[in-house]
Chains A and B, each alone.
Chain A
Amino acid sequence: MKEVLLKVRNLSKTFRSDKGILKALDDVSFDVCKGETLGVVGESGCGKTTLGRCVVGLLKPDHGTIVFSDASKHKQIIFQDPYNSVDPYWTVEKIVCETCNDRKKAVKLLKEVGLTEDEKDSFPHELSGGQLQRVGIARALGGDPDFIVCDEPVSALDVSYQSKIISLLEDLQQENDLTYLFISHDLAVVRHIADRIMIMYKGQIMEIGETSQVVNKPAHPYTRFLLSAVPAPFGEKKQFDIRDDEVVSEGCPFAPRCPYRKDVCLKNRRMLKEIYEGHMAACYNINTDGGQ
């Protein structure tokens, strides 16, 4: 059994707006083990960014607990948009010093993430998106973390930079024994980097398990719907058609669109149930071979 680094239990967060109350996180519980990458996937508005921010303490949850193991040191976060997450008037060196407070170390970190010493005096607008995201990563490393929330770190980048940043994150993880909570809307990226994957919809966890299990034997209809939408060059693409009924669901948030909906789905929320070792899904119609 692997050592658990982070325990999240019954986490809830609501936002109030003039349109009413939005449940960004609705009773979310999961563990993250030391040294692993947990991928969090879902459409916009599913609560994945709120989750990341709660975990590093940028947002205060309404209910629930977030507990790091005693051995855990520091936590850091890498943001989606490298341009908007740094101060445009600061040099690269100063940005990295914000977390480590040590200029020598800052230069060392910049080298570690693939920048040259000449670039330490550059300002953010002089760098490309890929380079700037490396600065964001160096800043996160400056806090000497063992746990990093990566909030869509490659979504804003061009494809040829994406793979460089992904490879860098992979290398850093091995060298420094890092644990990642990797948030992304791109299933292919998460499939590539994550050991385990967590599928979220409207603030709830729909499915969680080992990446290969979830991708190859998806149990929840929403996971199957998401997978069917991933653009893939050729090959057998599984069609998955959903409906779009105007019904109110007090149970499963996906029920209005689910083709397998039963009456009970609209009334009661199904909590996560284990299907296979460590592979859990929140659905009333699951049989273990992945079919419905």
Chain B
Amino acid sequence: MSNILTIENLNVTYRTLAGRRHVLQDVSLSLASGQIRAIVGESGCGKSTLVNTIISLLPDNAEIESGSIMIDGRETVGLTGERLRKMRLEKLGVVFQDPFSALDPSYTIEKQILESIRISRKVSMKDVEMEIRELLRSCGLRNPEEILKKYPHELSGGQQQRIMIAMALLNKPSLLIADEPTTALDVTVQKEILRLLKSLAKKNDLAVLFVTHSLDVAAEIADRIAVFYGGRVVEEGRVEEIFSFPLHPYTQALLKTIPSIEYGKNERKLMPIEGELFSFLNEEEGCCFAPRCPYASERCFKESPKYRESHGHGFACMLEEVL
């Protein structure tokens, strides 16, 4: 298996009124074809910044300080203009959280899909009609003829998201980035979309980077999970390891805050994580989770923990050294 996405020591900062803020710190990730990797974290943990960095959609006040992002063996940091466009066109597919805002409300589905094909190929609808229908069918839309004639508002949320997935796959990318694609959907529709993404990854040997705030959803779809906090990967490993042997105090705490369908009223007390969510605005020395961490010692507030890895399960915490 070859690595489709390799991120190494990525550092991204934002210039703000309060000064420079380190939003991604030493992020390293790799993703092979056919693999689904979930990025899990709460609001403000830097997961959207990561996505925007990979697809080069960072705002003007952001800067990639160091690090590299290789997609399919090609460095993408620093690409601009025609070369960036070409890379996005050939290698990347993106599915956003809210399909209704991602689709243009004033065009029919047919027109929107055709538009994205025409960027690379000069074709008419007749030439590609069969191809599009086939693609929509493979994304679980049963009557593509009808759907192509419709406007986005005439479709359900699930159908809209299927269209988005189909459009992301139009140019047969090697990497699909899905940024909270099911958050706006009902559980039953969510399940169908997750199933679809799984089968597409398998069938097309596609690498999928799946961003979500829900550990449960991540477990449902991914092979491996990277837990983000304060712009850093705090833990990374196989799904089973993350759930059965979480090593980082944040992952441990997160697992205890989620209600489970297994336990009823008064059968299990939820253990909320104390303190407020991490904010880049009050950046401090030391470990980003230290202010909320039940095990934090003095050293945790001074030093940043090193990321350590053994047997493919890594985490960034000094707990063992401290105790």
Contact = CB atoms under 8 A, between A and B. Distances in A.
Interface of A: 37, 43-44, 128, 158-164, 166-167, 185-189, 191-195, 211-212, 215, 225-235, 244
Contacts of B319: none
A37 B270 CA distance: 17
B73 interface: no
Nearest to A222: B188
Nearest to B45: A158
Q: Pick from B219, B261, B268 the residue with the most CB of A within 10 Å.
A: B261
Contacts of B294: none
B29 interface: no
Nearest to B221: A231
B240 A163 contact: no
* The 5 A-B residue pairs with the shortest CB-CB distance in the complex, in nearest-first order: A192-B259, A163-B257, A231-B216, A164-B272, A163-B270
B188 A225 contact: yes
A184 B79 CA distance: 45
B186 A185 contact: yes
Contacts, number: 112
B265 A160 contact: no
B191 interface: yes
Contacts of A229: 187-188, 190-191
B263 A128 contact: no
19 contacts: A37-B265, A44-B186, A128-B276, A159-B213, A159-B215, A160-B277, A185-B186, A188-B260, A191-B261, A192-B263, A192-B268, A195-B265, A211-B265, A226-B187, A227-B261, A230-B187, A231-B190, A231-B219, A233-B239
Contact of A189 (B219, B220, B259): B259
Given A43-B186, A44-B186, A160 B273 contact: yes
A211 B258 CA distance: 18
Nearest to A194: B265
B29 to A, nearest CB: 22
Contacts of A235: 262
Contacts of B243: 233-234
Nearest to B270: A163
